[in-house]
Structure 1
Amino acid sequence: MEAVLAQSTGFFRERPAAAGLAGVFSAVWVHRMEERDVPPIVITPDATIDLQWIDGRFRVAGPDKEPQIERPAAGATIIGFRFRPGAAAGWLGVPAIEIVGGRFALKDLWGTRSRALSDRIKVTPDLTDTVRQLEETIGLHTHGRAALDPQMARAFAAMDDGLPPETLLVPFLLGRLAMSERTLRRRFEDAFGYGPKTLERILRFHRFRRLQRAGGASTALLAIEAGYADQAHLIRESRRLSGLTPTALPHS
């Protein structure tokens, strides 16, 4: 069975995180698979880290550098809490570089401490109630914790918006953050799982995806607007990060 992009199958919805979680998490999402054979799904790198609830267990999905293939069961429901950029390491107590490309049970990272969260969730067929329980439980662990790294959050925001043409990334960041190049790399690896140039590549691709979904221009023009040298550069990166050409990517 041919693999498809994750949000192209089943039911997917997301919304901003509730007020009590918003300092650490940016969004809450639900992905429910069809009640039949589910094709393998492709997870494209998007520079995010998620805390997920699957089959009564918490799982951490680390930041990816390349596409990942997952094979969820028919009818499976995944509830995800997306960390704000620069917040996951502080909340989890684990540098992001240690979970790059990984999918870990929370107990593998926390040991028996993870039961303080999972034991509070009561199994129920009511999805709304499950999300409410998860928000309340995660909120208890989040309340009063300063998990966000403000400097890394600002750096991420500047890169996500797209730097002016011809800007040299590392010198720009060194000037903006006032730190040595060695410290810069370490801080990026701790917060995001990889260095500035890898993060820039991933954010540029998702900037193109946002522009593509908005529509209204040719792929060649969107490539330039997103920050690629030309359309050929975009095609290479799209294949590398999603396995598809830009025109084959779903526009929704």
Structure 2
Amino acid sequence: MSGRYRQHAYAPGRSLLCRWEYVQGAEASPALVLPDACVDLLWDGERLRIAGPDTRAQYARIAPGRRISGLRFAPGTATRWLGVPLHVLADQRVDLRDLGIARLATLADRMTERDADAMVWLADRILLDAPARDAAMQAVHARLSCVQPASVAQLARDLGITERTLLRRCDEAFGYGPKLLARILRLQRFLHRRHDDTTRMEAALDAGYYDAAQLAGDTRRLTGLTPTQLVAQVAR
């Protein structure tokens, strides 16, 4: 990563995970953005955009010296604040004004009236105004975050809904179904474990992969890279 990234985390259980800032370095090399089951609000000093849930890695092209500020929603919470099902925003970066929702357009307009405290002000608004988190979708995310996640059938039975209803609600809350969500969370676990004092294969097994082939398959589908290439990119 050629830029400088820093973040301020919020207390667990809130609708926002963190506020962050990224300043691009002197090089204009693209910044790798990995799918993580989260949605971010992006502010560049002029436009307030929503970064929808990514189904695969993307590269953000940011001009040298440019500053981007962000707010990261906890998984499954952005749809309740936006009032928009997340599957319509998957893999997109959309100006909040273009969603056609008056209160969101007003917020975007008010951001331009503020100065350096714009994202702090917006975060405070979201933390006060966001609807309560969806307990069922919280449970789905927690169950799929496990090293041995529950099956779609088991999740539906435990929630007392049909598999079709579970798929629809996951599409709305996360932007995609539970199987893709589980794969994304598993890859994130692997990347977190790579910092431990373990081999890459040990990190993969700890994250829930059966073998190197499964890790390679997920990495290729979600990022277009090999595990070696991915680890090298993330380590920059």
TM > 0.5: yes
Q: Specify the alignment match of 1:143 in structure 2.
A: 128
Q: Does 1:247 align with 2:232?
A: no
Deviates more, 1:92-101 or 1:170-179: 170-179
Given candidates 20, 25, 28, the residue that maps to 2:19 is 28
1:85-100 to 2 correspondences below 5 Å:
85-100=75-90
Unaligned runs of 5+ in 1: 1-7, 125-129
Q: Specify the alignment match of 2:39 in structure 1.
A: 49
Q: Does the 8 Å CA contact 1:88/1:147 hold for their aligned counterparts?
A: no
Query: TM-score, normalization: structure 2?
Result: 0.89
Q: Distance in 1 between matches of 2:126 and 2:202?
A: 45
RMSD of the alignment, in Å? Answer: 2.1
Q: Distance in 2 between matches of 1:136 and 1:170?
A: 39
Q: Distance in 2 between matches of 1:24 and 1:191?
A: 13
Given candidates 209, 214, 218, the residue that maps to 1:233 is 214
Q: What's the secondary structure of 2:38's corresponding residue?
A: coil
1:192-207 to 2 correspondences below 5 Å:
192-207=174-189
Code of the residue aligned with 2:209 in structure 1: it is Y
Given candidates 148, 151, 162, the residue that maps to 1:163 is 148
Q: Deviations over 1:151-208 (max 9, x none)?
A: 10121022113326xx5x1122113212111110011000001111010111000010
Code of the residue aligned with 1:134 in structure 2: it is M
| Alpha carbons of structure 1 residues 9 and 176: separation in structure 2 relative to 1, 3 Å | farther
Q: Specify the alignment match of 2:3 in structure 1.
A: 10
Code of the residue aligned with 1:211 in structure 2: it is R
Q: Deviations over 1:3-36 (max 9, x none)?
A: xxxxx2210011213x6x96311111111101x3
Tell me by how many angstroms 1:246 deviates: 2.2
Q: Distance in 2 between matches of 1:144 and 1:68?
A: 30
Q: What's the secondary structure of 1:161's corresponding residue?
A: coil
Q: Deviations over 1:210-230 (max 9, x none)?
A: 1112x2111222211111120
Unaligned runs of 5+ in 2: none
Q: Does the 8 Å CA contact 2:52/2:91 hold for their aligned counterparts?
A: yes
| Alpha carbons of structure 1 residues 79 and 97: separation in structure 2 relative to 1, 3 Å | same
Q: Distance in 2 between matches of 1:102 and 1:44?
A: 13
Query: TM-score, normalization: structure 1?
Result: 0.84
Identical amino acids, percent of aligned pairs: 36
Q: Does the 8 Å CA contact 2:2/2:27 hold for their aligned counterparts?
A: no
Code of the residue aligned with 1:118 in structure 2: it is A
> How many residues are treated as equivalent by the alignment?
232
Code of the residue aligned with 2:9 in structure 1: it is P
Deviates more, 1:45-54 or 1:103-112: 103-112
Tell me by how many angstroms 1:42 deviates: 2.4
Q: Deviations over 1:75-122 (max 9, x none)?
A: 111111111111111101100011001110000114553342233334
Q: What's the secondary structure of 2:225's corresponding residue?
A: coil
Q: What's the secondary structure of 1:148's corresponding residue?
A: coil
Q: What's the secondary structure of 1:50's corresponding residue?
A: strand
Q: Deviations over 1:27-56 (max 9, x none)?
A: 11111101x331122222111111111232
